[in-house]
Amino acid sequence: MIEFSVVIPVYNGSSSIERLVESLKENLKGFKFETVLVNDGSKDNSGEICKKIALSTENVKFINLRKNFGEFNAVMCGLNHVQGKYTVIIDDDFQNPPSEILKLLKTAKENDFDVVYSYYESKKHHWFRNLGSSLVNYLTTFLLKKPKDLYLSSFKLIHEDVVKEIIKYKGPHPYIDGILFQITDNIGKQKVDHLKRENGVSNYSFRKLLSLFLTILFGYSLLPLRLTFLAGICSIIFSLIYMLLYATNIIPEWGSPIVIFMCGTILCSISLVGEYIGNNFMIQTGKPQFVTKDIISKPKDL
């Protein structure tokens, strides 16, 4: 039986992916594991390199997506093809040394955790990514009831039973961490080393950060709707108080400001409801999480 699977979403990782796979083999000797490479529509020659690796290396599977679907979608694709008792998700940029996988595995086994997140004493990401990560962590703590001291790292380990539950989600905009907190609270953490990026630039952008925020807000929480309802109640109460005070000549007429306030509240409410309806519409119309072009692995010896 395969002890664990390593899922690597690849995007423009041609400068590091081959060395990463070699490092996995070197550092994880003695373990029976598989590697699943998911090329998420890379613009460089990552696909060709991953294909070469898969055809020449045992227990490496290469999945080529037809376009860029996003990191979480690529990870979901990988999770749909793993066989290990545990699955480790690791980025392709070599900032997480493959040797640190053993720390996550040991923590999971010793404590019987469903999920183990990594965390760093010192993060080597770009300042903008660190800022974005902090904002996402605050948001998920508030919306998803995430423990305050838990850092949502992309480098994590998940038990196979939880993986089976995760892949039941078929929506077009998966947020792996949001799904995890809907499945289990048996979650641990483990400190690991974090290295500086050796080559290339981060793909983390303001657009991706905004997209993630909207996905968390409207895909994994009803809080915006509840706040909108509360704003409507407050508007009604405010209007009643105003009419009472105006009728008793305590305050002058404020017709225009109240109309503007009420119209703004209504427009915001319609927009919020539209987001939820839009998300549900895309699910119902079958917008895919990912579309595979090729699935390649080394042929078995006859």
- Same domain flag for 270 and 159: no
**pLDDT single digits (tens) 19-44:** 999 999 999 988 999 999 999 999 99
3-state class (DSSP) for residue 236? helix
In a domain? residue 235 = yes
Q: What is the pLDDT along the chain (302 residues), one digit of tens a residue?
A: 799 999 999 999 998 999 999 999 999 988 999 999 999 999 999 999 999 999 999 999 999 999 999 999 999 999 999 999 999 999 998 888 999 999 999 999 999 999 999 998 766 555 566 666 677 777 777 777 788 888 888 899 999 999 999 999 988 889 999 899 999 999 999 999 877 766 555 565 667 767 777 777 777 777 777 777 777 777 777 777 777 777 777 777 665 566 666 676 777 777 777 777 776 766 676 788 899 999 999 886 53
- Same domain flag for 188 and 236: no
- Same domain flag for 78 and 227: no
Distance CA 138, CA 21 (A): 34
For residue 202, the cross-strand partners are none
Six-digit token pair at 239? Answer: 């209007």
Letter for the amino acid at 33? F
- Same domain flag for 152 and 275: no
Query: 16 is in which domain, residue-wise?
Result: 4-219+288-297
Six-digit token pair at 256? Answer: 């225009």
Task: Answer for the pair 114, 185: CB distance below 8 angstroms, yes or no.
Answer: no
- Same domain flag for 261 and 241: yes
- Same domain flag for 207 and 240: no
In a domain? residue 302 = no
The model's pTM: 0.77
Q: What is the CATH number of the domain that holds 34?
A: 3.90.550.10
- Same domain flag for 23 and 158: yes
In a domain? residue 139 = yes
